[in-house]
A and B are shown apart, each in its own frame.
Chain A
Amino acid sequence: EIVMTQSPATLSVSPGERATLSCRASQSISSNLAWYQQKPGLGPRLLIYGASTRATGISARFSGSGSGTEFTLTISSLQSEDFAVYYCQQYNNWPPTFGQGTKVEIK
């Protein structure tokens, strides 16, 4: 099973600033990586798939990059609605596995 490691666990950012979240896979997953946003009491919301393709309706301030084992989610200018937990997920191998999440909080 592929292990996904996210860093940092918590990221404190001021509104309007840029946030950079990292995700590392225990072995190469090509570009088979997705990012999700989750707010309390809700299911995750798909942001990015294929490492860099935004899902339908997702703001351009969200961007993904990387391939192989190292991936990054960048939020260019944090808005109030962006404060949440973010998960990466690999789907190169079965079963799909998730990172432990990065909580983006208001600084």
Chain B
Amino acid sequence: QVQLQESGPGLVKPSDTLSLTCSVSGASISGSYWSWIRQPPGKGLEWIGYIHSSGTTHYNPSLNSRVTLSLDTSKNQFSLKLTSVTAADTAVYHCARGSPVPDNWGQGALVTVSS
């Protein structure tokens, strides 16, 4: 059974960088696509981007200049960095396996942007 777990700071200051890690168990990250999707409080889901185990990435154009995805095959983890955050980046951030139709999702991590 594949399980994904997000981890990282729950509070980030405006203009700082948001960093989250997704730990994968029950499957190797090799050979698959891995995605990040976020959900602002009370709003719908927004696709952030994906990374393939080969290192290929594809980002949402609305976030393209601020997002970087990476992976660590030795730890079976992949990560998200979002720079220059504002209050609009406050959301629950989900990591997931697969793109563009993820079949396994983490429960999500709430990240609040506030001073």
Chain A positions within 8 Å of B, measured between CB atoms, are: 34, 41-46, 49, 55-56, 87, 89, 91, 94-101
Contacts and interface: CB of A to CB of B under 8 A. Distances in A.
Most buried by A among B62, B96, B102: B102
A98 B47 CA distance: 8
A97 B47 contact: yes
Nearest to A85: B44
A32 to B, nearest CB: 8
Interface of B: 4, 43-47, 58, 60-62, 94, 96, 99-103, 105-108
B45 A44 contact: yes
Given A43-B94, A43-B96, A46-B102, A87 B44 contact: yes
Given A91-B100, A95-B60, A96-B100, A43 B44 contact: no
Contact of B101 (A42, A43, A91): A91
Nearest to A44: B105
B107 A42 contact: yes
Contact of A95 (B43, B47, B107): B47
B61 A98 contact: no
Chain B interface SS verdict (over half): loop
B58 A94 contact: yes
Contact of A43 (B46, B47, B62, B107): B107
Contacts of A101: 44
A3 to B, nearest CB: 11
Contacts of B60: 95
Given A43-B106, A91-B100, 20 more contacts: A41-B107, A42-B108, A43-B94, A43-B96, A43-B105, A43-B107, A44-B45, A44-B94, A44-B105, A46-B101, A46-B102, A49-B101, A89-B101, A95-B47, A95-B60, A96-B47, A97-B47, A98-B44, A100-B43, A101-B44
